[in-house]
Amino acid sequence: MATKYQSLRGTKDILPEDSRTWRYVEGKISDIFARFGYQEIRTPIFEMTELFVRSIGASTDIVNKEMYTFPDKKGRSLTLRPEGTAPVVRAYIQNQLYQKDEVLKLYYKGPFFRYERPQAGRERQFHQFGVEVLGASSPAIDAEIIYLGCFILKSLGLDNAKLLLGSVGCSDCRPAYEKLIVSTLKESTSKLCDDCQKRYKTNPLRMLDCKNEDCKKQLKKIPSFAGSLCDDCKKYLNETEELLKLLEVSYTISPHLVRGLDYYTRTTFEFVYSGLGAQSTVIGGGRYNNLIKEFGGPSVSACGFAGGMERLISVLKNEGKIPSLSDGLDVFIAQIPANTETAGKGDECFKTAFKLLQEIRCFKISADMDYRNGSLKSQFRKANKLKASYVIVIGEDEIKKGIVKLKDMKTGNEENIKLDEATSKLKEKF
RNA sequence: GUGGCUAUUGUGUAAUGGUAGCACAAGAGACUGUGGCUCUCUUUGUACGGGUUCAAAUCCCGUUAGCCACCCCA
């Protein structure tokens, strides 16, 4: 329905029915993060544009065409965060968090923004949850966050996500591999697609991700990255794999796993799931050993991943893994005005009910009533719709006797209880 | 950013260029102080802006949005 004002393209309202699901998923994820020893960090939703350009990489699609960038009133260029790592690294350095702990394990969740044409599994405002382990380089960390990602998916009932693992090398061996790519394709650049011709010059590694059939043929000539890794990177990958095997995490080595952000070094990984349309990545991440230093922080390395809430929930729905989340009301209060003449001028039943309602709520019992002064029947209908366990009836007769009627909606049994004992009686039941 | 498909009450769907229906949901009621089942009644719609026509939900153009694909990513 088109209304005068509608939500912007690629943004969605999460309505009560859905937000129940969101709370369920977010709650589960947060619990797991805490169990693994991660602490939450909340960074602002916008940052200086340069932060993202410098970290994600000036030649990446995210920076080139997908950022929500705008000038503020002082003419500074600001950008709505398109991803979570750069802001966390910025906060890490700015607040000198490396002084507090040598290794810091952080998690975050919240909205992110990319200016793209929406489609299945892709929004302009989307939501991610993620972790960053800052301050150390150890295969154990890589293995742990991969295991953590796996653990989250399994805890939500998803057993058949596929884990892709790769390595993009380090600042020593990556340039060598890039040279190898360039020299291998030297003779056949004309057979590449337009994009790859650009990538050939600016970012050869990214060509490996191209899906163009002609490009794929040419790309087959390129030797696997595994052979070009330096000894340290090779060792690092092997040790990571060993630990994954120890934790019984199955994975597929994907030598061409490049990912669209430039800051990665060594480990990269993705959890993919089919049935998300053209999108398949539910969780993606990797190691970044140079970013913190480049941003003026200490010379320490870090590792992290991010998962897409919308994609995760979509998979959960497809797989029928969302439990029925009913949030039934504990108590509904129905009140009967004495008669139509007194109803208008604040009648006793309503006041008694309204007061009792608030008292009940003070005891952590969920309670509600109908404020429209409708018929008793309509109030019961409402109580039923709200899945109320009990209904309290307050009418003229009850007021006179100083009692209320308490009806058990499951059994249909009704009992009279004294008004001033109502809350204590209810406490027993919950 | 490029391309394809689509747009009818809250939701899901009907209607040769000629009366906009149906189901569910929602609300009210069924001897008046009691829900679920049943029955009755009621409310709500052709996305927006133009054009063709005696006549447009239907045909044409534009806009917007959604879906899908490319690109890329969560």
Name the residue with higher pLDDT: A343 or A387. A387
A116 is near strand B: CB distance < 7 Å: yes
The length of chain A, given as a count of residues:
430
The residue written with tokens 């899906």 in the block is A211
Question: Which is nearest to A306 in space by CA: A275, A282, A290, A277?
Answer: A282
A30-82 confidence digits (pLDDT tens)? 999 999 999 999 999 999 999 999 999 888 888 888 999 999 999 999 999 99
> pLDDT confidence of A235, banded at 50, 70, 90?
very high
Is A46 in contact with A157 (CB distance < 8 Å)? no
pLDDT at A359: 95
Look at residue A19 and tell me whether its pLDDT is greater than 80.
Answer: yes
pLDDT at A42: 97
Nucleotide nearest to A372 (CA to C1'): B27
Highest mean pLDDT: which range of A123-127, A193-197, A252-256: A123-127
ipTM score: 0.87
pLDDT at A346: 55
pLDDT at A60: 85
Three-state secondary-structure class, residue A88: helix
A357-396 confidence digits (pLDDT tens)? 999 999 999 999 998 878 899 999 999 999 999 999 999 8
Look at residue A150 and tell me whether its pLDDT is greater than 90.
Answer: yes
For residue A211 the two structure tokens come to 């899906």
CA–CA dist A416, A252 (Å, integer): 66
Please report, rounded to whole angstroms, the spatial distance between the CA atom of protein residue A17 and the C1' atom of nucleotide B11.
Answer: 14
Nucleotide nearest to A60 (CA to C1'): B72
Name the residue with higher pLDDT: A273 or A37. A37
Three-state secondary-structure class, residue A258: coil
Please report, rounded to whole angstroms, the spatial distance between the CA atom of protein residue A344 and the C1' atom of nucleotide B27.
Answer: 22
The residue written with tokens 């600042």 in the block is A171
pLDDT at A344: 46
Name the residue with higher pLDDT: A277 or A315. A315
Nucleotide nearest to A127 (CA to C1'): B74
pLDDT at A388: 94
Number of Cβ within a 10 Å radius of residue A1: 3
pLDDT at A373: 78
A276-292 confidence digits (pLDDT tens)? 777 789 999 999 999 99
> pLDDT confidence of A1, banded at 50, 70, 90?
low
Is A269 in contact with A163 (CB distance < 8 Å)? yes
Please report, rounded to whole angstroms, the spatial distance between the CA atom of protein residue A378 and the C1' atom of nucleotide B28.
Answer: 9
Nucleotide nearest to A206 (CA to C1'): B72
pLDDT at A338: 59
A109 is near strand B: CB distance < 7 Å: no
CA distances from A131 to A5, A39, A290, A331, A405 (A): 36, 9, 18, 41, 53
Nucleotides of strand B under 7 angstroms from a protein beta carbon: 1-3, 9-11, 26-30, 33-36, 47-48, 64-74
CA distances from A298 to A55, A135, A246, A291, A428 (A): 16, 9, 32, 10, 58
A57 is near strand B: CB distance < 7 Å: no
For residue A120 the two structure tokens come to 């299945």
CA–CA dist A208, A222 (Å, integer): 9
The residue written with tokens 């003070």 in the block is A362
**What's the whole-number average pLDDT of chain A?**
89
> pLDDT confidence of A112, banded at 50, 70, 90?
very high
> pLDDT confidence of A343, banded at 50, 70, 90?
very low
Look at residue A4 and tell me whether its pLDDT is greater than 90.
Answer: no
Number of Cβ within a 10 Å radius of residue A114: 20
Nucleotide nearest to A84 (CA to C1'): B74
Beta bridge partners of A167: A267
Find and give the residue nearest to B47, measured CA to C1'.
A2
Look at residue A229 and tell me whether its pLDDT is greater than 70.
Answer: yes
Q: What are the structural domains, with CATH classification, of chain A? A: 16-172+230-318 (3.30.930.10), 331-429 (3.40.50.800)
> pLDDT confidence of A248, banded at 50, 70, 90?
very high
Q: What is the helix (H) or strand (E) element at residue A303, kind and residue range?
A: strand A302-308
Instruction: Say if strands A367-369 and A331-335 run parallel, antiparallel, or are unpaired.
Output: parallel
Please report, rounded to whole angstroms, the spatial distance between the CA atom of protein residue A275 and the C1' atom of nucleotide B69.
Answer: 15
For residue A165 the two structure tokens come to 């693992």
Residue A427 CA, chain-centre distance (Å), reads 37
A287 is near strand B: CB distance < 7 Å: no
Please report, rounded to whole angstroms, the spatial distance between the CA atom of protein residue A380 and the C1' atom of nucleotide B17.
Answer: 50
Find and give the residue nearest to B28, measured CA to C1'.
A378
CA–CA dist A168, A145 (Å, integer): 18
Counting residues of chain A whose pLDDT is more than 70, the rounded percentage is 96
Q: In degrees rounded to 5, what are phi and psi of residue A91?
A: -65, -40
A311 is near strand B: CB distance < 7 Å: yes
Residues 121-140 of A with CB under 7 A from strand B: 121-123, 126, 128
CA–CA dist A200, A181 (Å, integer): 9
Look at residue A2 and tell me whether its pLDDT is greater than 70.
Answer: no
